[in-house]
Structure 1
Amino acid sequence: MSTRTPQRVALVGGGSGGIGQAVVHRLAADGYAVAVHYAGNQSTADGMVAAILAKGGHAIAVGGDIADETAMEAAFDAVEEAFGGIDVVVNTAGIMALGPIADYDLDAFDRIIRTNVRGTFVISQQAARRVRPGGAIINFSTSVTRAQFPGYGPYAASKAAVEGLTLILARELRGKDITANTVAPGPTATPLFLHGKDEQTIANLAQAVPLERLGRPDDIAETVAFLAGPARWVNGQTLYTNGGLA
């Protein structure tokens, strides 16, 4: 791996997952050095790194539980050691388990809160301390916070917390020339979204969008690339990237 410092450096939390993969490859294509974060899928992350290096790009893989502050501190350290600093932090990592509020298992709820809320907080805290001036912090919510589909209560609650956290972070970063925004995808064809849904349910969700299709990971990566680079006047916002769902 070349140690030449690229123009900009990005760390993508959950980079080995569906939307995360698209974000990694889009930012790498835009000339970023990319750190691909994984929790349990190191082989996928390593394969992504190898593909980027083969094209002449710059990439490393970093692992760890995003809710573990020690692991994430080490991950940020590794990125800074490899590339000299961090300009963009994107956190796509998250889990989703559906069910009605009245019958929902509280252990499952605790797991969602730990990953989606605490994990986002840990990543955001490190990012607020380390991202260089001119940089961007991009967290992930969901359009279900507005669409309000039954069965999504615990997931939507965790993502509403992410939105609130990120909007306040943007104000706390006053004077540092760092933006903080949230991307809220609609139904997007990823393993996380498709898991446990039958074909009719998936078709109904696709038809609920005025564009009459599910989103693609590349659709979401386009929004991330906008916020990571040219969108310096977009700050403290939640962008609903959902094809007009709600």
Structure 2
Amino acid sequence: MDYSDPDAFTLPYQLTKQVRRDVYPLLEPTQPGLSAKGKTVLITGVSGGIGKVIAESWATAGTSGIVITGRKVDMLKGVATRLRNLAPPGTKVLAQAADITNEASVAALFAAAKEAVGKVDVLINSAGSLNGGPVGAVDATKFFDDFQVNVLGSYLMTHHFLAQADGVGTVISMTTGAIATVFPGMAGYTASKLALTRIMENLHAEQPGMRVFMLIPGIVQTEMTVDALKPYAKDSAGLSGSWTLFLSTPRAEWMRGGIVSVNWDIEEMEAHKDQIVHDNLLSRAFLNAKLGRDGHPWT
């Protein structure tokens, strides 16, 4: 691998020849095709960089109701103020701190959400944990913190979302391209994200009324970004925000149950939709597609 290449950790996971690293016209949140009017959304991890920008994208797209949660109360209040300024008049905004690894806290969050915005249509599991360190060198409790947030937390959020969804809704869970490889020092993170991916695949198979997607946000400069990847953190958090809007539209229906990356070009994917579906290239695509610098060799 050429580590001097700014795309060194992006190209190995590239399905399309076109690499996207920032919002492009098709994914502008103001674009009518991405309108969130009439939809309510709940986003976790809004204390962090990606979750905050996802929330801003939904507000810009005119969502009818938005619930944001995280652990940093002061930051949530600041984000809520910005969302009210971005969103159309009448948009309902709820900012409530919660510990997603605690079921009582999650239950209280959904009770507050019901009162504030009614039924939640879209759940975005954006909260994440990354505790680095080699296997055996990290305290066991710290190692499994990643599982607590990435697996248990996302499961509890999904469990309570399903309980109020009446069998219909959209669940988008953030995953990582790193589940496709061995990344020394990130075993807890990659293993927990791989476990979450399998849970989401099961949800897709078990509940046909649920629109389930797993989204790779690329490499974004946030507090979670490990030092080794900071030189390669060239992706806009806005891409994740716009992709969550896109995945909530009928145009993304054929991608249901799949793993998709913000770095992939949507129109190129659509041009090869039949092959992607036939060859099952989005189902843990790392096993089914020939990812790389020039994208999958389309036939």
TM-score range, shorter chain: 0.7 to 0.9
**2:110 paired residue number:** 76
1:108 equivalent to 2:129? Answer: no
1:240 equivalent to 2:261? Answer: yes
**2:246 paired residue number:** 226
Change (3 A) 1:73 1:124: same
**Structure 1 alignment gaps of length 5 or more:** 1-5, 207-212
For residues 185 and 163 of structure 1, the distance between their equivalents in structure 2, rounded to whole angstroms, comes to 14
For residues 61 and 108 of structure 1, the distance between their equivalents in structure 2, rounded to whole angstroms, comes to 28
Change (3 A) 1:112 1:121: same
TM-score, normalised via structure 2 length: 0.70
**Structure 2 alignment gaps of length 5 or more:** 1-36, 265-290, 294-299
Confirm or deny: 8 A CA contact 2:176 2:216 kept in the other structure. yes
Report the Cα offset of residue 152 of structure 1.
1.2
Report the Cα offset of residue 58 of structure 1.
2.7
1:59 equivalent to 2:87? Answer: no
> Which of 222, 230, 234 does residue 214 from structure 1 map onto?
234
1:146 equivalent to 2:180? Answer: yes
Report the Cα offset of residue 78 of structure 1.
1.0
Confirm or deny: 8 A CA contact 1:144 1:186 kept in the other structure. no
Report the Cα offset of residue 242 of structure 1.
4.3
1:160 equivalent to 2:194? Answer: yes
Q: Helix, strand or coil for the counterpart of 1:103?
A: coil
1:27 equivalent to 2:61? Answer: no
Report the Cα offset of residue 185 of structure 1.
2.6
129-138 vs 28-37, which moves further: 129-138
Confirm or deny: 8 A CA contact 1:186 1:215 kept in the other structure. yes
| Cα deviation code 1:5-24 (max 9, x no counterpart) | x6110000112211100110
What stretches of structure 1 move > 4 A for 4+ residues in a row? 242-246
| Cα deviation code 1:101-147 (max 9, x no counterpart) | 24232111121111111101101111222235652111111111114
1:121 equivalent to 2:155? Answer: yes
Q: Which has the higher contact order (CA 8 A, sep 6+)?
A: 2
| Cα deviation code 1:151-201 (max 9, x no counterpart) | 111110000011000010111212x3x20111123321112115xx27xx5
TM-score, normalised via structure 1 length: 0.84
Task: Calculate the aligned-residue CA RMSD, in Å.
Answer: 2.1
Instruction: Report percent identity of matched pairs.
Output: 24
Which of the two has higher C-alpha Rg?
2
> How many pairs does the alignment contain?
226
